[in-house]
Structure 1
């Protein structure tokens, strides 16, 4: 190995070692932060709060702010968050209650189990279904009230699925809601998964059948699409995902297509 090769090798290996060290330090820092979050949940609430699925959050945060979150329940939208503002040296345990209708979050400091119960009770009273008596005429805001409740149900389901399947890469593509003063149509949500295996995973949890189809092989590539549909809690859920076929799979598909084309041409002759 000459001097140039030796220098380049040393530089590359040093950078790789430094990157590994930085990754290890970042993982340890995240783990330490989660330990602090669980300790705060235990001190302010109870062991059950510490046992929730706490996750370190990095997206859409101000500078110098770290945060960990834990859903209270997969079917609900509320979550606890432990947030630290390093610049101001302030740490807080808070309850976040998203409002799907107004698109804002109600954020309340949580210092006791009693206070948490009080906040959840207020939210439950606020979002409970309107009292629709068959003998009563709907109120002037009936359609809007029903829309708010349906939106909250759809949002809870979407959050539940993304929380239960974090590796599926679920993205909400489309939501359809229809309400009027006398009732509602079936809400629909379309989700895109990261790949075909992810569609299978989520579909199995919903009890849905996965349908596969492949596109024509063109320019040496072909795509396999996976689709599934189910109705859950009165909400229609459509799943879709795809993957690029391997070179061998594409070659086999192309051979099948050529054979079918030749057979068709022979029959016409």
Structure 2
């Protein structure tokens, strides 16, 4: 099995094989007899392997992704959180904690809500809001964060209730920031199994970053913080744009030396 996965381009073939075996075995346990369970497990495992060899993301196949020590629900077709977003989650935790108990936090472009889930589990008194244009992603985020979160179907920040104007202590986001012309550099599984609207951000990748910076002012509370993940090569352009809007910018660089979190106040 690992050999088949490795031949298909899976770098961590042994780990993926174990995960697929666990997924097939767990699903087969509902069978009424051991023989039927084994038969069902083998058939399901063959199906899962075929899907992975065909290029479907492992996380969408098994229905979850490991992120910052927690298992997040993932559905087919939605954007799968990248491990580099742990940098944004840590920065958000610090900002929310500094804002104090009962802070209002919005994860915009939330996808399945990796940052909001991290915040809600560590700082349960935080008032969590989730925003995305994708209903399936929002449903995943609601499951991950829990019923206490308020969900909003948004285009950037458009769609938030007027009652929330000037109320957010922290807004965090991973807006789509891949330049349109960079599609050839993305993994095939991302291009084929994640929505383009969750990946691409215009000619320089910053169309939605600019939208977020431009629109966030009226939604942030006095002293509020806007945190945005983007590529290292994009940080100066985004920071310069933010400063034209009266915001001060600082950058946090990830361990991969490529991912940056832009902190705006």
Q: Normalized against structure 1, the TM-score is what?
A: 0.28
Larger radius of gyration: 1
Pick the structure with more strand per residue: 1
RCO greater where, 1 or 2, for CA within 8 Å and sep 6 or more? 2
Q: Normalized against structure 2, the TM-score is what?
A: 0.28
